[in-house]
């Protein structure tokens, strides 16, 4: 059975690289849908255009709030080479672009074996589930959070946080859109340094998919780590990792803006 995320990001082809997407209520972060849902829908449209190649990277911008309702996604193949495709997707609302993504898709190439050092982490069953969806954004109701460190609004000095994350309802499969959303699901790394909530928004998003998503157990607790590395005039750059055990699944760099 499809999970709520799979249903919320489903796209219907309209022809000529255009798709219809119905953004449902209940996925907001503030006024509009959370960025992981929007980027996941854009990536799903791109994958429908290039189904034979796997998404490797996505770079996106969240330009304006995406409100619940029926919207259009327009895709354009920038180049389709012998092994790689570059595709752009735009989400259109009332004739204006409110979100966009550029995706690199490719066949498998020559593998370079690397062994990243393992990270220390507690077991998932040693941590309690925290209901982020209560005091937090509306969309968090669809995810299960088990924080390991960096609780929000604790007033600590270190801008870092992390823990286990997964969809509350097990999806039919893990795919690239699901991984993109999971990268964006955790709260910002600056939240542990605050003593009270402050509104923030993602303005740019870049991710690398470093696995075959179909090899990830849909029910697995994945370990997310988030670390803010720089800030200037209200813009904060953050690095994120998503792991299945010691296996690195995806990397993410986001730029957040502190709205007030």
Contact call for residues 216 and 204 (beta carbons, < 8 A): no
Strand-by-strand arrangement of the 96-106 sheet = 11-15, 18-23, 69-80, 84-93, 96-106, 54-62, 200-209, 247-258, 235-244, 222-232, 160-167, 143-149
Q: pLDDT tens string for the chain (260 positions)?
A: 789 999 999 999 999 999 999 999 999 998 999 999 999 999 999 999 999 999 999 999 999 999 999 999 999 999 999 999 999 999 999 999 999 999 999 998 887 777 777 788 999 999 999 988 666 799 999 999 999 999 988 888 889 999 999 999 999 999 999 999 999 999 999 999 998 888 899 999 999 999 999 999 999 999 999 999 999 999 999 999 999 999 999 999 999 999 87
- Stated as kind and residue range, the H or E segment containing 32 is strand 32-33
Return the sign of the alpha-carbon dihedral for residues 67, 69, 92, 183. positive
**Residue 117: its pLDDT value, please?**
77
**Residue 134: its pLDDT value, please?**
65
Query: How many Å apart are CA 26 and CA 38, to the nearest integer?
Result: 13
Residue keyed to tokens 């502190």: 258
Return the sign of the alpha-carbon dihedral for residues 204, 33, 220, 153. positive
Cα angle 94-31-72, degrees, rounded to a multiple of 5? 30
Calculate Rg over the CA atoms of the chain.
18
**Residue 199: its pLDDT value, please?**
87
**Residue 198: its pLDDT value, please?**
86
Q: 240 to each of 6, 125, 186, 200, 251, how far by Cα in Å?
A: 23, 22, 9, 17, 6
- Stated as kind and residue range, the H or E segment containing 35 is helix 35-49
Long-range pairs of 71-74 with CB within 8 A, sequence gap ≥ 24: 71/20, 71/21, 71/22, 71/23, 72/14, 72/18, 72/19, 72/20, 72/21, 73/11, 73/18, 73/19, 73/20, 73/21, 73/41, 73/42, 73/45, 74/17, 74/18, 74/19
**Residue 133: its pLDDT value, please?**
63
Domains plus CATH for the chain?
A: 4-107+120-258 (2.40.160.210)
């Amino acid at each position: 059975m499809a999970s709520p995320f799979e249903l919320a990001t489903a796209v219907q082809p309209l022809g000529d690289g255009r798709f219809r997407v119905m953004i449902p209520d209940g996925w907001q972060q503030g006024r509009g849908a959370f960025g992981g849902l929007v980027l996941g829908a854009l990536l799903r449209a791109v994958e429908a255009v290039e189904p034979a190649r796997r998404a490797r990277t996505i770079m996106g911008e969240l330009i304006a709030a995406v409100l619940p309702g029926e919207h259009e996604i327009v895709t354009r193949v920038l180049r389709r080479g012998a092994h790689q495709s570059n595709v752009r997707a735009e989400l259109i609302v009332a004739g204006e672009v409110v979100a966009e993504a550029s995706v690199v898709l490719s066949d498998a190439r020559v593998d370079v074996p690397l062994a990243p050092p393992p990270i220390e982490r507690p077991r998932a069953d040693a941590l309690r589930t925290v209901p982020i969806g209560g005091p937090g954004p509306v969309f968090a109701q669809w995810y299960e959070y088990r924080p390991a460190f960096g609780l929000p609004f604790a007033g600590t000095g270190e801008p870092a946080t992390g823990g286990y994350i997964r969809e509350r309802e097990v999806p039919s499969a893990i795919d690239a859109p699901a991984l993109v959303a999971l990268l964006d699901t955790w709260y910002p790394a600056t939240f542990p340094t605050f003593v009270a909530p402050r509104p923030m928004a993602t303005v740019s998003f870049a991710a690398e998919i470093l696995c075959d998503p179909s090899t990830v157990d849909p029910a697995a607790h994945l370990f997310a780590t988030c670390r803010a590395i720089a800030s200037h005039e209200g813009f904060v750059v953050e690095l994120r990792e998503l792991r299945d055990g010691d296996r690195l699944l995806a990397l993410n760099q986001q730029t957040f803006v502190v709205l007030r």
